[in-house]
């Protein structure tokens, strides 16, 4: 989806157009998306043509509601932002150490290392 259409869809959603029909003029929408009335009108027509919104003409305003297709586009954008900002992929190891290479115990008993274990891993390696 073109970025300017996604931005317009987002602004409509913020105005409540996912759950309800909203009344808005092209001029009002233009102010919301920081563009001209003509540009806002063109974006609405394109969103309507691609099935992202339903659009009914009122007396002075248009009645707009985001369709399930438009909501899916917003959900997809949301998922992409989650991938960027949230660390959901964490690796967790479980097990028991049964042998080592000799010097590990020495280092894991040193206060500087013990503090880092607690800070970074959340536990102390030895009681």
- For residues 121 and 79, state if they share a domain: no
Which residue, 70, 85, 100, sits at the end of a domain?
85
Inter-helix orientation angle 68-85/3-14, to 10°: 100
Residue numbers of the domain that contains 80: 3-85
- For residues 35 and 95, state if they share a domain: no
Find the mean pLDDT for residues 40-47: 97
Q: Name the band, by pLDDT with cuts 50, 70 and 90, for residue 104.
A: confident
What are residue 123's DSSP bridge partners? none
Structural domain tally of the chain? 2
- For residues 28 and 43, state if they share a domain: yes
Per the model's pLDDT, the better-predicted residue between 65 and 123 turns out to be 65
Of 47, 50, 52, the C-alpha closest to 67 is: 52
- For residues 15 and 73, state if they share a domain: yes
CB 33, CB 8: distance < 8 Å = yes
CATH assignment at residue 26: 1.10.10.10
Written as six digits, the tokens of 102 are 């000799």
- For residues 81 and 96, state if they share a domain: no
- For residues 39 and 12, state if they share a domain: yes
Q: What angle do CA 50, 54, 55 make, to 5 degrees?
A: 110
Which residue, 52, 69, 85, sits at the end of a domain?
85
Predicted pLDDT at 92: 74
User: Could you tell me the pTM of the whole model?
Assistant: 0.66
- For residues 21 and 56, state if they share a domain: yes
- For residues 20 and 77, state if they share a domain: yes
């Amino acid at each position: 989806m073109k970025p300017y259409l996604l931005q317009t869809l987002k602004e409509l959603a913020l105005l409540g157009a996912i759950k309800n029909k909203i009344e808005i003029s092209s001029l009002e929408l233009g102010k919301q998306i920081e563009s001209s009335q003509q540009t806002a009108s063109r974006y609405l027509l394109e969103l309507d043509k691609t099935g992202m919104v339903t659009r009914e003409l009122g007396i002075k305003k248009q009645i707009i509601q985001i369709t399930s297709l438009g909501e899916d586009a917003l959900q997809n954008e949301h998922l992409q932002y989650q991938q960027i900002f949230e660390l959901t992929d964490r690796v967790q190891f479980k097990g028991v150490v049964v042998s080592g290479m000799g010097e590990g115990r020495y280092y894991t008993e040193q206060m500087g290392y013990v503090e880092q274990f607690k800070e970074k891993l959340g536990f102390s390696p030895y009681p």
